């Protein structure tokens, strides 16, 4: 057992920031030790992957970034997203009896809609991983109805439960879970099997926008470093390394 908790041994709380990932990246470059957590009530430039925006009303939710310095090579970085996905789903199951699922590559779903997103950013020096920043956004105490563009695909815990949740309690539970999973990562354990078992994308017919154009097929497998394998109608396969899929019941 690792006796000392790493994640959350220092928590810096801000009112308004551009992005908690910006601050965590800055602290990383200043040499702060791993485990530092940066949280904010409000992000003016909260971001997702591929330059997309992460939009959340101030003071409602969990928006946090964790500075990590794992002994991983850059190709293994997906284990950090797997660790975050597992910690989030465990917290939601244990605290509220919810039945969350994971969607490839990095989303957490409740009732088929996204309630949390994960953003990993890395600092690479001489081909080595110097640090990683694990950003987590988890929608809590607001109604997604107020965001008509997102409402068809996104949700909040309050929407799923019908009542608000205790944010401090959930933050503590999430950080404790992240720390426990990070201890496993440091011991070299694979989290992939557990993560894969919760991945509702597998077996589904999906559409994807890829660098080579649109693709569609059945998601038949996923590889530990994150690549999703699609089987097209003609039986050929396509390996989706990055991007997004939309789940589609047809096909
Ligand atoms: C993500 O990106 O889902 C990663 C989100 C990470 C946010 C955290 S908050 C703390 C830290 N600081 C940051 O600046 N970021 C991290 P991606 O898979 O690219 O999804 C982005 C897409 O999700 C957007 O294009 C929208 O379609 C949708 N989206 C935006 N805001 C959302 C929300 N609050 N809930 C659900 N979906 C949302």
Query: What is the percentage of the chain residues whose pLDDT exceeds 70?
Result: 97
> What pLDDT was estimated at residue 249?
57
- Reply yes or no on whether the pLDDT at 3 is more than 60: no
pTM: 0.96
Count of CB atoms situated within 10 Å of the CB of 43: 24
> What is the pLDDT, as a whole number, of residue 251?
47
- pLDDT of 184 above 70: yes
Q: What are the C-alpha distances in Å from 197 to residues 129, 200, 202, 221, 248?
A: 28, 8, 9, 11, 20
How close is the Cα of 48 to the center of ligand 1, in Å? 4
Write the CB contacts of 152 (distance below 8 Å, at least 6 apart in sequence): 113
Q: By alpha-carbon position, which residue is closest to atom 14 of ligand 1?
A: 46
Instruction: Give the number of the atom of ligand 1 that is nearest the alpha carbon of residue 20.
Output: 12
**Residue located nearest, by CA, to atom 16 of ligand 1:** 135
pLDDT above 80 (res 47)? yes
Give, using CA atoms, the residue closest to atom 36 of ligand 1. Answer: 154
Structure tokens at 11: 């928590």
- Quote the ligand 1 centre to 236 CA distance (angstroms): 32
Q: For residue 212, what pLDDT is reported?
A: 84
* Pocket of ligand 1 from Cβ distances under 6 Å: 19-21, 43, 46-50, 52-56, 63-65, 106, 114, 117-119, 135-137, 139, 150, 154
């Amino acid at each position: 057992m690792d006796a000392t908790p790493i994640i959350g041994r220092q928590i810096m709380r801000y009112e308004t920031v551009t992005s908690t990932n910006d601050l965590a990246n800055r602290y990383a470059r200043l040499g702060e030790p791993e485990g530092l957590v940066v949280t904010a009530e409000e992000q003016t430039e909260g971001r997702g992957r591929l330059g997309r925006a992460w939009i959340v009303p101030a003071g409602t939710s969990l928006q946090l970034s964790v500075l990590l310095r794992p002994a991983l090579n850059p190709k293994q970085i997906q284990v950090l997203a797997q660790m975050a996905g597992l910690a989030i789903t465990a917290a939601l199951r244990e605290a509220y009896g919810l039945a969350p699922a994971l969607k490839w590559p990095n989303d957490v779903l409740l009732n088929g809609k996204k309630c949390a997103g994960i953003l990993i950013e890395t600092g690479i020096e001489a081909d080595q991983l110097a640090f990683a920043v694990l950003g987590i956004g988890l929608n809590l105490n607001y109604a997604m109805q107020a965001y008509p563009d997102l409402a068809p695909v996104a949700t909040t815990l309050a929407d799923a439960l019908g009542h608000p949740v205790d944010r401090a309690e959930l933050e503590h539970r999430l950080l404790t879970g992240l720390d426990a999973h990070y201890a496993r990562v440091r011991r070299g354990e694979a989290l992939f099997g557990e993560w894969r078992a919760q991945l509702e994308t597998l077996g589904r017919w999906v559409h994807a926008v890829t660098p080579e154009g649109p693709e569609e097929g059945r998601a038949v497998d996923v590889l530990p470093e994150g690549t999703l394998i699609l089987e097209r109608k003609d039986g050929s396969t396509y390996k989706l390394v990055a991007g997004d899929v939309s789940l589609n019941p047809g096909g």
